[in-house]
């Protein structure tokens, strides 16, 4: 299945206290066809609400325009006060690439949004980040300098002519900044201290530091200190512009270090809006290594990150509602229909009067079960007092077997999909075009089971060591696992061989056949060794 392109929009509105206005903006977004509202995060002290929604590019632009209309009608900037810097009712509206869209696509979204809002509402719109080509007005802080109160005079300066809309000041609305950027994490570290102390830490860690001569320690970090009345504590409030360079856990550790030097307590942290799963897994891996932990399950890694960063200190952090990957994940019954079936259903469809799923899908399933039984044998040894001395070995062996098991599951559907592509290739019109399409489809139908063989074969080195050290109460489980793995590899090999007969590319044939035969031979020798080790153990 081809997944739809996805853009994220994260508009920030200058209203965080009036629930009816907050709800009205939410409704405008939710009622826009093609838009999915993922998160609404209001703040009373900041008097600001951050919305997060996704959709295809055109739908997301429609949703942002609809929300801007509501803000124009209901928010009065002449009455607005709050801790957060701002210059307009819809203060900033970034578009972020999520899936199958380019940064250029998001720049086009920002420009289309800016043009439509300026034309309809007659308000000034400024472009920033990737959508801006002017160095003096590329960053949000540059454009927002002077904030709402200084915007009237700013608009008189030719250097600050809006990218869209009039140069006249609209008191009730102010102005909007829109653009395209990569995923930004709005991240706050809680400090049991004063606003001034939190700001002092912000100056230490943010990239800009105190001045050009005295920069801060962390790249791609913007920050300031403020006091949040509803939390009754100060925060180092930051934007992490590139979490792959400076992830939340590094920011948390650096802020904590500075807080300790000031004899201040850190009371967890807060993510405003949504966060990529990758950022939390990076944090988990950091603490796993730092504390010599052994955790490979994704859900437990996420839980560890939430705990160590104190992400539930201000409000409950629900991974299903706060991690964007989980929010936009398509139902696996659509993307992996076979792998998502019940065991009974899969066996019944396997035995039905259809050519697919067939042996290739079954081979991938059997191989995945083999790797899974290997991982299970490791778990039946790990963490038990009787085998405590073997814990370091099990920590080494379980992760690659668990990974192979998970990597093999998608091959169940991939094999059937590849067969269906072969069928479709035969319907291509034109002799030469059909010939090329069929050759390409058959090559893919070969590469899929060959991939099954490669992943499954990677397990043998770990299974051999596992056979030497595992809890012998699980001997039969490991034997079944190894036999399943061997059967999966053999079945995938048969699929490779039968499809090779349809290929005309002799170089491809020779290369694939050699590799497949070598894997099969290695598998047959490996299972003999594993079974021999298990049968000869005396314990």
Taking the CB of residue 296, how many other CB atoms lie within 10 A of it? 16
For tokens 């934007």, the residue is 239
Element (H, E) at 179: strand 176-180
39 catalytic? Reply is: no
415 catalytic? Reply is: yes
Provide the 3-class DSSP secondary structure of residue 367: helix
For tokens 């932990």, the residue is 293
Residue 29 contacts residue 51 (beta carbons within 8 Å)? yes
Among 84, 199, 249, 493, the active-site one is 84
CA angle centred on 270, ends 266 and 274, rounded to 5°: 160
Residues 6+ apart with CB under 8 A from 86: 12, 14, 48, 80, 144, 147, 148, 174
Among 62, 91, 402, 415, the active-site one is 415
> What residues does 97 pair with on adjacent strands?
7
For tokens 């991690």, the residue is 323
Residues 6+ apart with CB under 8 A from 328: 6, 36, 38, 54, 98, 99
Beta strands in 241-382 (DSSP E): 265-272
Q: Kindly state the DSSP code that residue 141 receives in the 8-state scheme.
A: H
Q: Kindly state the DSSP code that residue 211 receives in the 8-state scheme.
A: S
CA angle centred on 328, ends 187 and 18, rounded to 5°: 55
| Structure-block tokens of residue 252 | 């948390």
- Which positions are annotated as active-site residues? 84, 415
């Amino acid at each position: 299945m081809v997944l739809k392109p996805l853009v994220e929009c994260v508009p920030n509105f200058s209203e965080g206290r009036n629930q009816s206005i907050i709800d009205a903006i939410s409704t405008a977004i939710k009622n826009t066809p093609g838009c999915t509202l993922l998160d609404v995060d209001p703040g009373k002290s900041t008097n600001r609400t951050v919305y997060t929604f996704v959709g295809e590019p055109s739908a997301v632009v429609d949703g942002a325009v609809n929300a801007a209309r509501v803000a124009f009608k209901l928010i009065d900037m002449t009455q607005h006060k709050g801790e957060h810097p701002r210059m307009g009712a819809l203060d900033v509206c970034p578009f972020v690439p999520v899936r199958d869209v380019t940064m250029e696509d998001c720049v086009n979204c920002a420009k289309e949004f800016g043009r439509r809002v300026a034309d309809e509402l007659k308000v000034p719109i400024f472009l920033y980040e990737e959508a801006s080509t002017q160095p003096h007005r590329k960053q949000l802080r540059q454009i927002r300098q002077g904030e709402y109160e200084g915007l009237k005079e700013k608009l008189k300066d030719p250097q600050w002519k809006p990218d869209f809309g009039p140069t006249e000041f609209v008191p009730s609305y102010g102005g909007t900044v829109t653009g395209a950027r990569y995923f930004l994490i709005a991240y706050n570290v809680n400090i049991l201290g004063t606003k001034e102390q939190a700001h002092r830490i912000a100056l230490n860690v943010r990239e800009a530091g105190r001045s050009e001569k005295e920069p801060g320690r962390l790249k791609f970090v913007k920050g300031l200190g403020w006091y949040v009345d509803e939390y009754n504590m100060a925060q180092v409030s930051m934007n992490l512009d590139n979490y792959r360079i400076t992830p939340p856990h590094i920011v948390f550790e650096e802020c904590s270090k500075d807080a300790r030097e000031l004899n201040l307590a850190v009371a967890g942290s807060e993510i405003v809006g949504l966060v990529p799963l990758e950022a939390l897994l990076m944090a988990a891996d950091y603490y796993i290594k730092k504390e010599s932990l052994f955790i490979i399950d994704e859900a437990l890694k996420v839980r560890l990150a939430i705990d160590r960063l104190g992400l539930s200190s201000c409000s409950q952090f629900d991974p299903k509602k706060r991690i964007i990957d989980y929010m936009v994940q398509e139902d696996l019954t659509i993307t992996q229909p076979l792998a998502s079936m019940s065991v009974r259903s899969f066996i019944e469809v396997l035995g039905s009067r259809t050519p697919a799923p067939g042996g290739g899908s079954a081979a991938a399933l059997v191989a995945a079960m083999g790797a899974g039984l290997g991982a299970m044998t490791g778990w039946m040894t790990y963490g038990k007092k009787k085998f405590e001395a073997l814990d370091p070995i099990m920590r080494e062996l379980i992760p690659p077997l668990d990974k192979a098991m998970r990597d093999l599951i998608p091959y169940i559907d991939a094999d059937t999909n590849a067969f269906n592509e072969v069928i479709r290739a035969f319907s291509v019109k034109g002799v030469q075009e059909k010939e090329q399409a069929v050759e390409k489809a058959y090559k893919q139908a070969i590469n899929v089971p060959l991939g099954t063989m490669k992943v499954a074969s990677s397990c043998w080195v770990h299974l051999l060591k596992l056979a030497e050290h595992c809890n012998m109460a699980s001997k039969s489980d490991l034997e079944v696992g190894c036999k399943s793995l061997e059967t999966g590899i053999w079945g995938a090999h048969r699929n490779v061989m039968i499809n090779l007969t349809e290929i005309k590319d002799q170089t491809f044939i020779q290369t694939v056949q050699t590799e497949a035969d070598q894997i099969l031979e290695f598998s047959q020798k490996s299972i003999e060794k594993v079974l021999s080790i298990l049968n000869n153990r005396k314990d």
